[in-house]
Every structure is written in structure tokens, then in C-alpha cells.
Structure 1
Amino acid sequence: MSGDEAFPLKSNLMKPYSRNQLTNERRMFNYRISRGRKSVECAFGMLTSKFALLQTPTSLRTDKIDIIAQSMCVLHNFIRMHDGVFSIPKVPNHIQQRHYEADLPRDNKPKNLRTCLCKYFCDFAPIPHQDVYNV
């Protein structure tokens, strides 16, 4: 999950580097994490427009929310496939496929995880224009 600078950095909540700590690599990380967050917000917006349940506070038990959210995603994809507007994202040719689990820090400290993600975005999975992005 990604938050903005107002959120705390946690192992399950990544946030961008603050503006006074930016290097070129950190700027690229901030750009990539921002793109990811925007994609999630857009996807949730599409689900919200389709399922009215998401437009109001819920009184559902928390152990049921995951299965309901997953069911909504499956239904949404089924509807898009039926309507002929479903597409499978393509991985660009310049991104090398590799497993990075071995590169993850063993301690799961948030700062170490963020550093590892920063390195991954910059070194192993760059996008062509990320180095010219200005924050």
C-alpha cells in the first residue's frame, strides 16, 4: 500500500521520500510509487462506480471485507470481458523478469524495504522516461 508524505512509513505502508531528502534515485522512487497509487485509486474508482456498496460506510465484519473486495474484482473483470473491454497488461520488453525475493531485507524494517524498492525501480525495472521526471 502507498500513502503520501503525511502517513507514517511502515512495512505495510510505503510513502515517498520527503522533498528535502531527494536524490535522483529517490525522485524516481517517488514518481513510481505515485504512479502505483494513482492506478489503485483509479481501479477503486471504477469499482465504486459499479458497486454502490462501496459508496457508503459499511457495517460488515472485517473478516468478510477481503472476500467481498475480491469478489467485486472478479465480477468487474467478468463484466469487462463480457463487454469486450478487458485487457491484460503487457510487460514492456525492457523489463527483465527475475525473482527479487532474495534481495528483500530479512529484517522487514520499513526504511530497508523502501531502499530495496528504490533500488529495484531504478536498477532492475526502469521505465524509459523515469529519469527525466521532475517532482
Structure 2
Amino acid sequence: MRKTKGAFESDISKAITQWEKDYLGRGSVSVKSDILRDMIIVSLQGVLTPAEYSVCETKEGMLTIKKTRSELVESGLENLKEIIFTISGEKVKSFHTDISSRTGERVMVFKLYNDLEKLITGDF
């Protein structure tokens, strides 16, 4: 039986949560993944620590936390690409991410070479 789109999205969320714990030392509060055409969009809630929120109260602190967090994620990018490939069978063309210092939410966008949504649903 073929995996559903929801099953792919759930597997990606679980794998990224595990990657966060293994690589960054802690996981976010919640992770939601969505497959949309040739993109996998991952929304992570509760990424920042209480100390990081405190540092983010100044503009310099916020920029420092955003930069540091970006560098941490980028340094593990090959692992993230491997996770996406293992689950979806698709290679990552590009990766984009940003974090909100106000809400503590991170968004990751994996741009793929092919339309994964069509491949999963068979809706050509």
C-alpha cells in the first residue's frame, strides 16, 4: 500500500524532531510539516529557550540569536537533506529558513527538484 501525503508529512515531522534532539540538544515544542507542490514546509514552535527570549529583547541580541541559530541549523544541513531524501526519495534543491525572535517559531522550506505532492497523490 502506498503511503499517504499525511503519513509522509508525519514521518518528516518526527524525523526533524529527532534530528533537533540529537543534533541541537533539544527539540521544539511542536513540529508540523506540509508538502506543497515541490516544497516541504516545516513549522517548528517553541524553538527558543527562555534565556534566548531574554537576549532577544534588544535588537543586537535578537540579531545575534537569529545568526547563531541559523548557523547551527545550516551546519546540520547535510543531515536534514538526507532525512528528506530518505523519507521522500527526492533530493533537496535548496533550503531556506528563518526564526521569529518574537514567537520562537522557526520555518524551514525544502525546495525539491520534483513535485512531490503530485508524485504522492498520483494527480498528474
TM-score band by shorter chain is 0.3 to 0.5
Structure (1 or 2) with the larger CA radius of gyration: 1
Q: TM-score, normalised by structure 1?
A: 0.30
Structure with more of its chain in helix, by fraction: 1
Structure with more of its chain in strand, by fraction: 2
Greater RCO (CA < 8 Å, at least 6 residues apart): 1
